[in-house]
Structure 1
Amino acid sequence: MSSVNTAAVVIVSLLGLGCDRDSGAIGDRAGEITLDSTKRYQTIVGWEATAQAGQDQAGFTRLRDSLITLVVDDLGINRLRLELRSGIENPVDYETLFNSGSISREEWHCNRYATVNDDADPNHINETGFQWAAFDHVVEQVVLPVKRRMQANGEKLYLNLNYVAFAKKVCAGKTYDHLNPEEYAEFILAAVTHLRAKYGLIPDALEIILEPDNTRHWKSGTTIGHAIVAVTRRLRDAGFTLEIIAPSTKRMSAMIPYLRDIERVPGAIDQVTEFSYHRYGGVSDENLRKIAAATTRYRRRAAMLEHIGSGYMNLHEDLELGINSAWQQYALAFQSNAAAKDGGGTYVILNASDSLNPVIRLGERSRYLRQYFRYVRRGAVRFSASSNTRRFSPLAFVNTDGRYVLVVKADSAGTFTVKDLPPGTYGVSYTTAEGTGVTEREVARGATFSASIPAAGVITVFAQPVRGPGSGVQR
């Protein structure tokens, strides 16, 4: 991965417990972190973003490559949420009409989640009853470019197809047909078939419904359960095997009650691969521990898949207490102006108001998230790491290539030593309020070392690959 220029590189010594810099100048007594690779926890599936990058704005194509290079190569995004609005099932293309200025925003709002059944038979897909133009635009402008960039890096994109139906915004007189499990299954199959036929894409997962506790119709987990049973059967009969993500509640505290209701539908809970939640309410350590317990009980993964404003502290909690395997703040980017605030709703700040000097940079929270995303890759397994001080909170991982990564949340400046790290060549970087970490820093070989951070932030220790003739340092 390429690195950003504004950075601070940690001073390390792997040949002893000393530090190249006087530790007393930046912290008190050194912390001690102990690793135990025999005690293992979750496997990481991906760092997710919603496939929204400002692609509807003029001039986006000029910025796209730089934006995608930043989020894939530098930040480390490797999983996308592709939203599938219920209103695609309609003989009228309201999205295109609105984008062309042919209808008002009010009329668009009334219709974007309303459905008009393609025909009376849920076992027959009438192609003229679905409007894919806006959906395809996201695929072509965001999903495929991210996929290609990841392939160039030797990685595979994890694509999450997420059904969205905020039908409480549907105006009086409009209809919504997808509470019928068979009609829902037909719609999902139509989307998956469309993606394969037009783009050769098959999603890795289906997220059954976005924020059911924030909708008019999906208030019960049993509704989700019936949808799961119907759609998995329909997809399987058509030759598709997608992982199932549910219940994706708006409130963290609502996840467990929804799971209980899903379990009431015979066969439904067995089809779910990943238990998901958001952080817009009911957030507590107790609820995170309940989520972790559910992953153990059902032998499933957990994922926090949206919270505008979340940063590394929430991520660290979700990984440590909630045993998360995937995580999302929100969108890749929205185009904004210089006066727009960084509210943590996008990973990247994108300001093209000056077309000759566009601004494309990581958001403030993303600078810290980078210390996790960039180094801990898909398939990495978290293992035990303990600290003798609350000032340093460690999370340890081993990537699929066997390289170790240690991410430490530092509440203040200081020095720590690490015990039981395998001998090898390591790089270390940190992010604080004053600087964003630089990678590709090689340090001497050894098994125990000390490292320092000059202020609160996140510091990452990562094993470097073996270098051979003509090879360069890789992530």
Structure 2
Amino acid sequence: MKPLTIPARMIIAGLAIAGVAAYFLSSSPAAGDQAATIEIDASKKFQTMRGWEATLDLPDNEKAGLLLEAGDAIFDKAADDLGINRLRLEIRSGAESRARSWDRYQRGELTYKEWRPYRYATENDNSDPNVIDWSGFDFSEIDQMIEQQVEPMRARLAARGEKLFVNLCYVAFTKQITNGRYIHGDPEEYAEFILATSLHIREKYGFDPDSWEVILEPDNVPDWTPRLVGRAIVATERRLAQHGFKANFVAPSTASTAKAIGYIDAIAGVKGAMDHVSELSYHRYHKATAANVNAIARKGEKFGKPTSMLELWFGRADSRVLFEDLTVGNASAFQGRTLFGHFDVNRTETGAISVNYRKEVAENRQVFKYVHDKAVRIEAHAAQKSATPVAFINPDGAMIVAIRTSGPMQLTFAGLKPGDYEISYASGKQIVSTARHLTVGDDGKGEATMPAAGVMTIAGVVPHAANRK
């Protein structure tokens, strides 16, 4: 075991207070500080990761232009530093319509208030769900999202030798409809709509969605029942398969964590539906107790499906939530914000644009950045409640250990894979990387000092591997 020693000049540059940096250099805790031992067991394996997700969106306010102007900086930071590798691409039910409301809204012919009721109202393309009349669909909104956000992120992930995961998500908040009909409560009409959208994406942009999220928050849509979600899966899988799509459905994506449990059972009650579900998803807006999160994990075990926490916005999905979803919910994917929502974007007095992480993002980055697609979570445990660890083995063999602490803490590790490790941490918005590696010998032991409440990451370094730097 080698104690960690770090040149102070490399630390102070990333700190607001020099005293915090000096603390971090010490391998011994100050009087009154806490200590924790992190025990890792790589023989005990849990979920395989499927992505750090963000929703594609653009605010309907004056910030939209500034965000698009800062797009390159945002995409660079999201892909290369934050670790976002999965996007939720939404298609509104109102895309089956000849009203062309999105184009009219973009041209200024409709105000936001006037456009809003059009978003989910449907107009049937024809009376036969087995025959697509392309003139009855309007994909201008999803095209804009793909061209402005998906394609730049696809290019950046490809440059890293990685593939962007695209989760196509159907949205139908029908309570907003003031004039018009809603036809997608018929599973065959729904299936036609999803097939038309998928074919459009394939033919225009050259890629297929990696998954299909059946409906966003069906518990907020009176037209949808838990059983209808299952029936829609069966009908849509049949239509997609006829055109060569390998359907992987994500469901139920309820706003209420508790309601997801009943929805999962209802989906399983529809013959053939669960066969095509690739993730059991939930949101955390209501009744998001640890018990409910764990109950979803147990459903995942019962049906042999990974789980995913796919929405808790507005800064509420902090590191406490992330660690709970990973360790209690066995979540294989996680979403805390929209893509642009991860960043505070402002124009400075000089006219330059600043792009910085929002309040909880820096700590979550300590997991997102280092834990790669298809990483496998392994056992990590601390007897002390003031330290919560989570550990993974990346596809390249690197061991990653992240520890959430309630305050300054001396950390001792047992069970680390022998080799070199990079050490970094975040406390609030502040991110600090150390200048030297921690070297672990055959005894699997190591030490590090966390100077404040936050998240520390011990990231294994694999020689000649393309790691996130």
TM-score by length of 2: 0.91
Aligned to 1:415: 410
Distance 1:440 1:93 in 2: 55
Q: Structure 2 residue aligned with 1:291, among 278, 288, 296?
A: 296
Aligned to 1:375: 370
Q: Structure 1 residue aligned with 2:449, among 447, 452, 457?
A: 452
Structure 1 residues 85, 26: closer, same or farther in 2, change over 3 A?
A: farther
Distance 1:353 1:227 in 2: 49
> Which amino acid is 1:216 matched to?
P
Structure 1 residues 100, 445: closer, same or farther in 2, change over 3 A?
A: same
Which sections of structure 1, spanning at least 5 residues, go unmatched? 13-18, 334-345
2:214 paired with 1:208: yes
> Which amino acid is 1:164 matched to?
V
Structure 1 residues 285, 266: closer, same or farther in 2, change over 3 A?
A: same
Distance 2:265 2:223 in 1: 18
Structure 1 residues 348, 278: closer, same or farther in 2, change over 3 A?
A: same
Aligned-residue offset at 1:389? 1.1
Distance 1:192 1:355 in 2: 44
Aligned to 1:238: 243
Structure 1 residues 474, 285: closer, same or farther in 2, change over 3 A?
A: closer
Matches within 5 A, 1:76-115: 76-115=83-122
Q: Is the 8 A contact 1:262 1:269 kept in 2?
A: yes
Aligned to 1:68: 75
Distance 2:333 2:51 in 1: 5
Aligned-residue offset at 1:154? 1.1
> Which amino acid is 1:456 matched to?
A
Aligned-residue offset at 1:92? 1.5
Q: Structure 1 residue aligned with 2:198, among 192, 199, 202?
A: 192
SS of the aligned residue for 2:244 comes to coil
SS of the aligned residue for 2:40 comes to strand
Q: Name which of structure 1's ranges 198-207 and 267-276 shifts more when overlaid on structure 2.
A: 267-276
Aligned to 1:426: 421
Aligned to 1:21: 26
Distance 2:94 2:105 in 1: 13
SS of the aligned residue for 2:293 comes to helix
Q: Structure 2 residue aligned with 1:42, among 32, 42, 47?
A: 47
Distance 1:355 1:310 in 2: 33
Aligned to 1:463: 460
Aligned-residue offset at 1:98? 1.3
Aligned to 2:256: 251
Aligned-residue offset at 1:473? 7.2
Which sections of structure 2, spanning at least 5 residues, go unmatched? 1-12
Aligned to 1:397: 392
Aligned-residue offset at 1:352? 4.1
Aligned-residue offset at 1:30? 2.9
Distance 1:132 1:306 in 2: 24
SS of the aligned residue for 2:287 comes to coil
Distance 1:395 1:68 in 2: 27
Q: Is the 8 A contact 1:27 1:413 kept in 2?
A: no
Q: RMSD of aligned C-alpha atoms?
A: 2.4
How many aligned residue pairs are there?
A: 448
Q: Is the 8 A contact 2:362 2:428 kept in 1?
A: no
Structure 1 residues 22, 402: closer, same or farther in 2, change over 3 A?
A: closer
Aligned-residue offset at 1:433? 3.2
Q: Is the 8 A contact 1:54 1:60 kept in 2?
A: no
Aligned to 1:338: none
SS of the aligned residue for 2:284 comes to coil
Q: How far does the alpha carbon of each residue in 1:309-347 deviate from its partner, in whole angstroms, 9 at most, with x for none? A: 2111101100110110000012012xxxxxxxxxxxx21
Q: Is the 8 A contact 1:253 1:283 kept in 2?
A: yes
2:167 paired with 1:160: yes
> Which amino acid is 2:259 matched to?
A
